[in-house]
Structure 1
Amino acid sequence: MIRWFQEVPWSKYATRISTSVVYAITAAVAVNFFYDSGDIYSSGVTGIAQIISKLSEKIIGVNVPLSIVLLLLNVPLFILGWFKISPKFTIYTGMTVGFTSLFMQIMPSQVLSTDPTINAIFGGVLMGAASGYILKSNSSSGGLDFITISIRRKTGKTIGSLSIIFNSFIMIVAGILFGWQSALYSALAIFISGKVTDAVYTKQKKIQVMIITSKADDVIHAIHKKLRRGITIISEVEGAFHHDQKKVLITVVTRYELPMLKQIMHESDPKSFVSISDNVQILGRFYEEDL
């Protein structure tokens, strides 16, 4: 671990910390300003922590702060992340969870609206945007992210859809304990949060790219140099208008990599024809950056 800290550039380390702080503040605002006001429960371990925190006063007569419950629930999941994903990813996530617990504790609750629909929508958008942003930065908010990332690597399912599946039981528990109105608004918030996460976390969205070019070697060299992606070559194709000889290159990249691919094509062959098919499903090996 000491060697890892020595190898990390301090600029990159500072970026990671700032990313964790941004997530923590956004998540704290979602919970303290919207979820608390609407009696709405968040997705994942945060939602479970909310339920436990609220029940603690009824069961033992002492209100255990949400921040403490959140930290305690994440401990066994840190162990899972350390061995199943990566130690580096787990350390970064630990920072995020620590900052989130801190801001949830020190940030006072505010009632911006008493309308549960408004609270569910705005809280879900904020929480989903924060989750997508932190995942896009190769970290996570902790909790169920460790489980959903592990499953996504094996099944290819998106983070948001997996979160909706896992969090269904939070809606049921909230309904049984606190009333079905609370459960329904929590379901709305969880659904919105999952969809916003998918919209922001573009690294999981795969697109197929077909390139028709007369400078195949230059394009292949540039893609291999800047993107770690395989390419299938179809040789000796003929244009119907000028009957000139070209090659067709087929590759799959993530939506996150699309701007880089556009830059590559502009530099290597600006006259090429590029066709993009969105949201393709992949069977087989597809390289994903280590977390």
Structure 2
Amino acid sequence: SLFLEVLHFPPLFDEMILNVIFGGFLYGFVSVIALKADGSTGGTDFIAMYVSERFHRGIWEYVFAFNVLILLIFGSMFGWAAAGYSILFQLISTQTISRYYHRYSQILVEITTKDPEQVAKQFKTYFRHGMTVIPAYGAYSQSNFFLCKSIVSSYEEREVIERIREVDPECITYTHKVDHFYGRFYRRPIE
């Protein structure tokens, strides 16, 4: 609030709607950067992070609903035009956060390898997740191999693949999104 009193920024566009759209996206994007660094913008995202940590899922749609409720009260007291612009701003910013902040998204990583011991050892060294190793038979190659499976955070996907390929460059790896996961799952705490 102090900076808004001291510093003055001219609007980027002459159209109010363009300012709201651009501002909502920019605010959402900056919020994602802060959240990925385990920070907060000091608004309702602080509460959202606490609740999300407790229930292990993003709750940005509820944050949006709460903010809309507050803005509807504001609109009834001070005018609907500003409340409408603010609701549009909130919609764009929370959708941007939901789209780009995936701390609670999980993926299944499946590695096809002939050396499961090395893959499992490398995985266990760098990640705090379990891994299931299943013997398999390749119909095309007519040879034995193993499927190594694990659920990891979407933020860990790239590092998992890089670490596994260090010990088995010939492995075949694929990932896909997990909609629901029930059970114990390690997630690095927010500090």
- Interval of TM-score (by shorter of Structure 1 and Structure 2): 0.7 to 0.9
* Counterpart Cα distance in 1 of 2:28 and 2:174: 31
Give 2:189's aligned residue: 290
- When structure 1 is superposed on structure 2, of 254-263 and 200-209 the one drifting more is 200-209
* Cα distance per residue 1:61-97 (max 9 Å; x no partner): xxxxx34xxxxxxxxxxxxxxxxxxxxxxxxxxxxxx
Further displaced range: 162-171 or 214-223: 162-171
Q: Following TM superposition, by how much is the alpha carbon of 1:146 offset from its aligned partner in structure 2, in angstroms? A: 3.0
Which of 8, 14, 18 is matched with 1:108 structurally? 8
| Rounded Cα–Cα distance in structure 1 between residues aligned with 2:5 and 2:124 | 47
Partner secondary structure for residue 238 of structure 1: strand
Tell me: CA distance 1:197–1:211, structure 2 relative to 1, closer, same or farther (3 Å).
same
Pairwise CA distance, 1:137: 0.6
The yes-or-no answer on 1:267 pairing with 2:181 is no
Does the CA-based 8 Å contact 2:110-2:173 persist in structure 1?
yes
- Aligned-pair identity in percent equals 28
Residue 232 of structure 1 deviates from its aligned partner by 2.0
Q: Which structure has greater strand proportion?
A: 2
For residue 118 of structure 1, the aligned residue among 18, 21, 30 is: 18
More helix by share: 1
User: Partner of 2:156 in structure 1?
Assistant: 257
Aligned partner (choices 91, 101, 106) of residue 191 of structure 1:
91
User: 2:84 & 2:4 partners in 1: Cα distance?
Assistant: 24
Structure 1 unpaired stretches of 5+? 1-65, 68-102
1:142 corresponds to which residue?
42
Two-structure CA RMSD over aligned residues (Å): 2.0
- Pair 1:172 & 2:78 matched: no
Give the total of aligned pairs: 190
C-alpha change, 1:165 and 1:233, in structure 2 (3 Å) is farther
Q: Does the Cα contact within 8 Å between 2:161 and 2:173 map onto a contact in 1?
A: no
Contact 1:133-1:200 at 8 Å conserved across structures: no
Query: Cα gap change, 1:162/1:271 in structure 2, threshold over 3 Å: closer, same or farther?
Result: farther
Within 2, Cα distance between the matches of 1:258 and 1:106? Answer: 44
Question: Is residue 132 from structure 1 mapped to residue 37 from structure 2 by the alignment?
Answer: no
The normalised TM-score by structure 1 is 0.59
- 3-state secondary structure, aligned to 2:20: helix
Aligned partner letter, 1:138: D
Question: C-alpha separation between the residues in 2 aligned to 1:230 and 1:106?
Answer: 53
Distance 1:159 1:243 in 2: 48
Aligned to 2:127: 227
